[in-house]
Amino acid sequence: MTMTYEGSCFCGTVQISVTGEPVAQGYCHCASCRSWSAAPVNAFTLWKPESVNVVKGADSLRGYRKTEHSDRKFCSRCGGHVMTDHPGFGLVDVYAATIPALRHAPTLHVHYGESVLPMHDGLPKFRDLPGEMGGSGALCAE
């Protein structure tokens, strides 16, 4: 049975659903994610674009593209963050907090070389990105 999870922006104007299982889940420590989320780390869930659906409020969804790697989406009414398109990867990051019913099961840390919050959880900590995602594949010590 295929699961569908629902989520929304902070005020509920933009509502989304994700279907199936994420391609990957983890934590991002890059300066851009930290600045965007106003937190020391961003919990991500990566999905194939066809698994992500804007159910309501698409006209209130706005984007900000600081680099060619990320097109961040937010609600124009409340400013609540919803997701980030990663066109180079062919994936969409729906922030773990946006879909509360999904059990966040991280398997890695990315951009740990930029970390400001050491985390001792036994997961692999990539200095930048895994090699298959175009990174160096280099690991940082826990």
Q: Quick check: 116 pLDDT over 90?
A: yes
User: Helix or strand or coil: residue 114?
Assistant: helix
Q: So what's the pLDDT on residue 142?
A: 87
Do residues 63 and 70 touch, judged by C-beta distance below 8 A? no
Distance between CA atoms of residues 72 and 33, nearest Å: 10
Average pLDDT (62-79) is 95
pTM here is 0.93
Average pLDDT, the chain: 96
